[in-house]
Amino acid sequence: MFRGYDWKSEHCKEVTDFLKYKFNSAEEAFRYMSEYSNKSVNYDRFKQVMNEFFKDRFQPSDSKNIWKTLAGGREQLDLPQFKKLHDHLWKAQDDSVDR
User: In the prediction, which pLDDT does 5 show?
Assistant: 66
Residue 30 lies in a domain: yes
For the domain that residue 44 is a member of, what is the CATH number?
1.10.238.10
User: In the prediction, which pLDDT does 9 show?
Assistant: 86
Residue 4 lies in a domain: no
pLDDT in tens, 7-55: 788 899 999 999 999 999 999 999 999 987 779 999 999 999 999 999 9
Residue 44 lies in a domain: yes
Number of domains in the chain: 1
Give me the domain span that covers residue 66.
22-91
- d(CA 49, CA 6) in angstroms, rounded, equals 23
> What sign does the dihedral 42-44-47-49 (CA atoms) show?
negative
Does residue 94 carry a pLDDT above 70? no
pLDDT in tens, 58-83: 998 999 999 999 999 999 999 999 99
Residue 13 lies in a domain: no
pTM of the shown model: 0.80
CA atoms within 13 A on the CB side of 27: 1
Nearest by Cα to 25 from 98, 86, 95: 86
